[in-house]
Amino acid sequence: MKIVVGVKQVPETDSVKIDPKTNNLVRSGIQGIINPFDKNAIEAALQLRDQAGGEVILLSMGPDSYTTSLRDGMAMGADSAVLVSSRAFGGADTLATGYTLAKAIEAIGDVDLVLFGRQSVDADTGQVGPIVAELLNFPQVTFAETVSLESENTIVAKRQLDSAVQDVQVTLPAVVTVRKELNTPRYETPLNIKESFEKQITTWTENDLNIDFSKIGQSGSPTKVTKVYEPTKELKQTTVLPVDPTEAVSELLSKLD
């Protein structure tokens, strides 16, 4: 089974600060980590590989520094990694990113399953997985809370939606985006860390992929971000009710009037 896992490097949430003068994110000195949901996707891939055999390939698009996250993913146990990296991909929105990743997955070839985290914690769109599925014409399951192999070419997944749970069966190849409830990602191990430096990270530029140049980077991105701002915080008024239940109920009722 050949499984590709989409990995995005995001700023470590704890270390993100906003410059009080400019209101911009302070990016310098911030450590990049694997998008936490993507770790669940890697764990799911490793479990499926351990069960059915095959390989787990990590795929990311971004600058050279993204190798840090790919290395981390390989230290969890993934077999190899592909980084799509070039200035030509810069400024890509979710559509251009999805297109580029889909083309990379085609280039990897014979992929049975593509896994993504449900969304990234920095952009929160949750769009890239579904876009990749559409472009590859693969069936897709989003927000999966369980994923298991039903037969050689079928998986079943449980989708957790706002008000319902949906059991879905799809034929491979397919795209699945996963929730954090799916599993607990394993720790890297000291041996896997050493081995991750012996595994391959292949870097592809736009010239290595069979792509339409108008669909990548800024030119392939219809989304325009006009403004990024911190929402104003409204201070809600809080009333602490008395400890005595009778008094508390009567005060509550008077507030509701």
- Taking CB under 8 A as the criterion, the residue among 8, 196, 201, 217 binding another protein is 196
Identify which of 221, 132, 243 has the alpha carbon closest to the alpha carbon of residue 177: 132
Looking at 19-27, 117-125, 191-199, 200-208, which segment touches another protein (CB under 8 A)? 191-199
From residue 38 to residue 77, the character string flagging contacts with another protein as x (rule: CB under 8 A) and all else as - is: ---------------------------------xx--x--
- Taking CB under 8 A as the criterion, the residue among 24, 151, 154, 189 binding another protein is 189
Q: Where are the alpha helices (DSSP H) in 77-166?
A: 94-108, 128-136
Residue 188, Cβ density class (10 Å: 0-12 exposed, 13-18 middle, ≥19 buried): middle
Residue 201 within binding range of another protein, rule CB under 8 A? no
Looking at 42-50, 110-118, 186-194, 224-232, which segment touches another protein (CB under 8 A)? 186-194
20: its two tokens? 């009080």
8: its two tokens? 């995005």
- Taking CB under 8 A as the criterion, the residue among 122, 145, 188, 251 binding another protein is 188
**For helices 128-136 and 94-108, angle between their N-to-C axes, nearest 10 degrees:** 50
- The site that binds another protein (CB under 8 A) totals a number of residues, namely 13
Looking at 88-96, 147-155, 166-174, 187-195, which segment touches another protein (CB under 8 A)? 187-195
Give the Cα separation of 147 and 177 in Å (integer): 10
Chain-centre distance for alpha carbon 162: 20
Give the Cα separation of 189 and 48 in Å (integer): 19
> Which residues make up the interface to another protein (CB under 8 A)?
71-72, 75, 187-194, 196-197
